[in-house]
């Protein structure tokens, strides 16, 4: 468990660093296509590509089958993406990931995993 907590802490830090670097580049006027703003290239470093996980409305909506294939860093990045801000802490993030892992609907291939995450968070996003 200590290893997992360490991975989670580093993944949140890495995610925020990559996001900050990208935002600083945009602020400096570095060119970014509309696609790069919606689906930043650095997200792929975390195993996330919004184009791979779109629902019929074009929203980022991976399914249970995707969640089960993801590694811990990708799950952390997904949680941070859904929250839209830093999670309250490493232990909290670990608990959210464990909750999704344990939630029966997360094992359904077609279940939108964000719905499962919302149930674990106790609030819709």
Tell me: the pLDDT tens digits for 63-79? Answer: 988 999 999 999 999 99
Show Cβ contacts of residue 37 under 8 Å, excluding neighbours closer than 6 positions: 26
pTM for the full predicted model: 0.85
**Residues of the domain holding 43:** 2-121
- Cβ-based neighbour number of residue 7 at 10 Å: 17
pLDDT over 90 percentage in the chain: 38
* Mean pLDDT of all residues belonging to the chain: 86
Burial of 51-85, coded b for 16+ CB within 10 Å and e otherwise, reads: eebeeeeeebbbbbebbeebeebbbbbbbbbbbee
Tell me: the pLDDT tens digits for 79-119? Answer: 988 887 777 889 999 999 999 998 877 677 888 888 888 88
The tally of domains found in the chain comes to: 1
Tell me: the pLDDT tens digits for 49-68? Answer: 988 988 888 888 899 889 99
pLDDT in the model for residue 57 = 85
Angle CA 62–64–68, to nearest 5: 105
């Amino acid at each position: 468990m200590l290893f997992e907590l360490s991975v989670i802490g580093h993944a949140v830090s890495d995610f925020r660093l990559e996001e900050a670097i990208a935002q600083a580049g945009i602020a400096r006027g570095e060119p970014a296509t509309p696609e790069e703003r919606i689906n930043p290239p650095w997200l792929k470093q975390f195993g996330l590509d919004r184009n791979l996980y779109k629902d019929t409305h074009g929203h980022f909506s991976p399914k249970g089958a995707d969640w089960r294939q993801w590694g811990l860093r990708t799950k952390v990045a997904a949680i941070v993406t859904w929250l839209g801000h830093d999670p309250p802490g490493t232990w909290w993030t670990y608990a959210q990931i464990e909750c999704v892992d344990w939630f029966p609907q997360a094992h359904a291939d077609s279940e939108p995993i964000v719905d499962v995450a919302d149930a674990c968070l106790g609030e819709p996003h």
